């Protein structure tokens, strides 16, 4: 850099003056930090364990961690691996992790929660070799839109699974009746609604749908898309938490059902 | 009349200390009023910078109880009167005296941003929806609180590599302008160093004009940088379709 930006005649400021957690703030800034650590920690570990555990199916219901169903066919599960030796059944987990892990909101959340970079605003940091997102591994964040494409495909499968929950015959599961308005169907419906709201507020989508234009009025349909995406985007954090929580709750519901704990609840659904 | 204890930084870039001052509190008082009272009754040489006392000139930025804030916009009734109120200068800039810092870094960064460049023979009609985005950024009062709270400058002192959020919104307002034809994406990446921002949003949290700095300026610019440098498939599609 040719220009010297530090003020001439003054000492350049030195990095890392404060130290980890050092601040003069008197308000409970750490509450948000702690909430994020606990929330992301619990839900993250749950999602990881659930995706590894198997038993993601109960009657016409398929856990979102095991969608699409064809990846879970026993034959594929045991035999099929990608060239890199990755079992195909792990694809949903990679897509979910990749999409959420590079999401602009979650980046903020985990940089603050797990890297204290910074833990709170105007709160000191420990590290002195900061390079932000200019180096590996964080350069991967630039691939967020690709994960968004994959997640959108996954979302189409999840909508399909939800239709199958209501109308099992559609997915070749007519043994569970032709119509099933069970509690689980609605649990899954809420799940796809929340995931759709989260995905539609994605910053990359907001950019690609219309934000990249300088002349917004030149393409009215893209402007309309951008406006709609912006509405969801403004509450992206809320969608992120609600959908993360509910995806785990949906899995838990289907898992407990599959283990035989919830039979009676589904009686009025029609498939028992 | 109730009294509140203030701890005000007195010193310069060589060093200094917090000095205790008691201030008599009246209704509706803001921190800047308390500084005036100290100047008038106890320390006439206390250096402060201010102009409008209406949260519009962006001069009176300081750190009140550790939070980057405007002194004229922080009412005393929002602070706990039983504890001393600390008032310190912004930390991301060199101190000149007491609460006054040298913010000239900002003007040097600004000079590196290529100015508005219209197409030759421009038709100067614009629709409101084409300039909505840039207008949000034009609300900036250049208080530099966002610069002060940004950890890239505040903690990591990357002043030479990173321009800071205020200048990313200025770059965004030009880049998104429908009549501007200058290309600033390479300088946004290399000179303003947008990759150093890890979108942790502290700038947005402190902005007194409530500009959505991160969501509406920095992230859209990051996406434009991705378009240019990190999206091979998108690039291919653009080559084949001839779109920008
Ligand atoms: S979002 Fe980026 S620019 Fe804003 S304070 Fe955080 S690191 Fe700095
Ligand atoms: S963007 Fe907001 S915080 Fe930053 S200088 Fe402008 S008004 Fe101040
Ligand atoms: S920014 Fe959160 S999903 Fe894309
Ligand atoms: S004196 Fe103008 S913003 Fe505070």
Domain extent listing, chain A: 30-125+136-263
What is the Cα–Cα distance from B165 to B151, expressed in whole angstroms? Answer: 11
For testing the chain A interface, which of B11, B135, B151, B171 should be mutated: the one with the most A CBs within 10 Å? B151
Report yes or no on whether pTM surpasses 0.90.
yes
- Among the candidates B78, B101, B124, a domain finishes at B101
CATH at residue B147: 1.10.1060.10
Mean pLDDT, all residues of chain A: 86
- Confidence class for position A19, pLDDT limits 50, 70, 90: confident
Residue A15's pLDDT is what?
A: 58
What is the Cα–Cα distance from A55 to A62, expressed in whole angstroms? Answer: 9
pLDDT digits (tens, 9 = 90+) for B173-222: 999 999 999 999 999 999 999 999 999 999 999 999 999 999 999 999 99
Q: Is A118 helix (H, G, I), strand (E, B) or coil?
A: coil
For testing the chain B interface, which of A106, A137, A216 should be mutated: the one with the most B CBs within 10 Å? A216
Chain A residues with CB-CB distance to B226 below 8 A: 142, 144-145, 204
CA distances from A64 to A73, A155, A160, A231, A261 (A): 15, 9, 11, 26, 19
Q: Are residues B143 and B168 in the same domain?
A: yes
Q: Are residues B108 and B24 in the same domain?
A: no
Q: Calculate how far, in angstroms, residue A230's C-alpha sits from the geometric centre of ligand 2.
A: 22
Residue identified by tokens 């419906």 is A189
CB neighbour list of residue B90: distance below 8 Å, 6 or more residues apart: B61, B62, B63, B68, B101, B103, B144, B145, B148
Residue A17's pLDDT is what?
A: 62
What is the Cα–Cα distance from B201 to A105, expressed in whole angstroms? Answer: 10
Q: Are residues B194 and B75 in the same domain?
A: no
Q: Calculate how far, in angstroms, residue B66's C-alpha sits from the geometric centre of ligand 3.
A: 31
Q: Could you tell me how far CA A145 lies from the centroid of its own chain?
A: 13
Q: What is the ipTM of this complex?
A: 0.93
Residue identified by tokens 């922080």 is B74
Spatial CA neighbour of B47 closest among B73, B74, B71: B71
Q: Are residues B94 and B167 in the same domain?
A: no
Q: Are residues B118 and B66 in the same domain?
A: no
- Confidence class for position A76, pLDDT limits 50, 70, 90: very low
Handedness of CA A112, A53, A71, A178 (dihedral sign): negative
Q: Are residues B77 and B198 in the same domain?
A: no
Handedness of CA A227, A233, A234, A239 (dihedral sign): positive
What is the Cα–Cα distance from B199 to B191, expressed in whole angstroms? Answer: 18
- Among the candidates B68, B101, B134, a domain finishes at B101
Q: Are residues B90 and B147 in the same domain?
A: no
Range of the domain at B70: 3-101
Token pair for B177: 């302008």
Chain A residues with CB-CB distance to B129 below 8 A: 216-217, 223
Chain B residues with CB-CB distance to A233 below 8 A: 215
- Residues across chain B: 244
Q: Are residues B15 and B47 in the same domain?
A: yes
Ligand nearest to the CA of residue B58, numbered in listed order: 4
User: Are B234 and B163 contacting, i.e. CB atoms less than 8 angstroms apart?
Assistant: no
B31 burial via Cβ count (<10 Å: 0-12, 13-18, 19+): buried
What is the Cα–Cα distance from A61 to A165, expressed in whole angstroms? Answer: 5
Token pair for B214: 């991160």
Beginning with the edge strand found earlier in the chain, give each strand of the sheet holding B15-24 in spatial order.
B15-24, B3-12, B85-88, B61-64, B67-70
Output DSSP code: residue A87: B
Q: Are residues B210 and B141 in the same domain?
A: yes
Q: Calculate how far, in angstroms, residue B153's C-alpha sits from the geometric centre of ligand 1.
A: 9
CA atoms within 13 A on the CB side of B221: 35
The residue among A55 and A45 whose pLDDT is bigger is A45
Spatial CA neighbour of B148 closest among B95, B112, B185: B95
User: Are B178 and B116 contacting, i.e. CB atoms less than 8 angstroms apart?
Assistant: no
Number of independent structural domains in chain B: 2
Handedness of CA A164, A170, A171, A172 (dihedral sign): positive
CATH at residue B97: 3.10.20.30
Nearest CA in chain A to B202: A121
- Among the candidates B101, B118, B149, a domain finishes at B101
Whether A226 has a pLDDT exceeding 80, the answer reads: yes
User: Are A11 and B105 contacting, i.e. CB atoms less than 8 angstroms apart?
Assistant: no
User: Are A181 and A166 contacting, i.e. CB atoms less than 8 angstroms apart?
Assistant: yes
Q: Are residues B120 and B228 in the same domain?
A: yes
Residue A77's pLDDT is what?
A: 47
Nearest CA in chain A to B219: A203
Q: Calculate how far, in angstroms, residue B209's C-alpha sits from the geometric centre of ligand 2.
A: 7
pLDDT digits (tens, 9 = 90+) for B91-121: 999 999 999 999 999 999 999 999 999 988 8
Residue A47's pLDDT is what?
A: 87
- A212-218's contacts with Cβ under 8 Å and 24+ in sequence apart are A212/B223, A212/B224, A212/B227, A214/B130, A214/B175, A214/B176, A214/B177, A214/B178, A214/B180, A215/B130, A215/B178, A216/B127, A216/B129, A216/B130, A216/B132, A216/B133, A216/B178, A217/B127, A217/B129, A217/B130
pLDDT digits (tens, 9 = 90+) for A153-177: 999 999 999 999 999 988 888 888 8
Q: Are residues B210 and B146 in the same domain?
A: yes
Q: Are residues B233 and B173 in the same domain?
A: yes
Interchain proximity A130–B156, CB inside 8 Å = yes
The residue nearest atom 3 of ligand 1, judged by CA position, is B165
């Amino acid at each position: 850099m040719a220009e010297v930006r530090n003020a001439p005649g003054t000492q350049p400021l030195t990095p890392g003056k404060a130290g980890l957690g050092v601040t003069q703030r008197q308000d409970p800034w750490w509450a948000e930090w702690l909430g994020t650590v606990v929330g992301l920690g619990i839900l993250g570990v749950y999602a990881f364990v659930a995706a590894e555990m198997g038993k993601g199916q109960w009657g016409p219901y398929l856990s979102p961690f095991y969608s699409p169903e064809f990846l879970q066919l026993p034959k594929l599960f045991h035999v099929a691996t990608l060239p890199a030796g990755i079992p195909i059944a792990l694809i949903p987990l990679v897509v979910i992790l990749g999409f959420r892990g590079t999401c602009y909101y979650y980046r903020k959340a985990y940089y603050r929660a797990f890297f204290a970079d910074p833990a709170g605003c105007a709160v000191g940091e420990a590290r002195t070799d900061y390079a932000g997102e200019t180096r590996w591994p964080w350069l991967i964040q630039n691939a967020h839109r690709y994960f968004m494409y994959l997640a959108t495909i996954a979302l189409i499968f999840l909508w399909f699974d939800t239709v199958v929950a209501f109308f099992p015959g559609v997915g070749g599961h007519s043994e569970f009746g032709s119509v099933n308005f069970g509690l689980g169907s609605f649990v899954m419906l809420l799940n796809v609604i929340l995931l759709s709201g989260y995905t539609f507020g994605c910053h990359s989508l907001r950019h690609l749908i219309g934000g990249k234009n300088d002349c917004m009025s030149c393409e009215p349909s893209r402007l309309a898309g951008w406006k709609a995406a912006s509405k969801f985007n403004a509450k992206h954090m809320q969608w992120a938490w609600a959908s993360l929580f509910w995806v785990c709750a949906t899995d838990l519901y289907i898992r407990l059902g599959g283990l035989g704990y919830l039979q009676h609840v589904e009686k009025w659904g029609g498939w028992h | 009349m109730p009294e509140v204890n203030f701890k005000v930084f007195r010193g310069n870039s060589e060093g200094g200390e917090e000095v205790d001052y008691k201030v008599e509190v009246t209704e509706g008082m803001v921190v800047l009023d308390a500084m005036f009272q100290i100047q008038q009754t106890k320390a006439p040489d206390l250096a402060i910078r201010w102009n409008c006392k209406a949260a519009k000139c962006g001069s009176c930025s300081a750190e009140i109880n550790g939070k980057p804030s405007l002194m004229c916009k922080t009412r005393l009734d929002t602070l706990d009167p039983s504890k001393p109120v600390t008032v310190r200068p912004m930390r991301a800039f060199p101190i000149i005296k007491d609460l006054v810092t040298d913010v000239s870094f900002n003007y040097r960064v600004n000079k590196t941003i290529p100015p508005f460049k219209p197409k030759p023979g421009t038709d100067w009609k614009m629709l409101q929806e084409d300039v909505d985005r840039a207008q949000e950024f034009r609300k900036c009062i250049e208080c530099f609180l966002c610069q002060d709270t940004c950890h890239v400058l505040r903690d990591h002192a990357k002043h030479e590599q990173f321009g800071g959020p205020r200048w990313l919104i200025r770059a965004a307002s030009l880049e998104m302008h429908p009549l501007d034809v200058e290309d600033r994406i390479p300088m946004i990446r290399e000179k303003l160093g947008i990759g150093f921002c890890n979108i942790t949003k502290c700038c947005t949290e402190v902005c007194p004009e409530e500009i959505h700095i991160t969501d509406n300026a920095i992230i859209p610019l990051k996406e434009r940088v991705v378009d240019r440098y990190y999206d091979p498939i998108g690039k291919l599609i653009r080559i084949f379709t001839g779109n920008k």
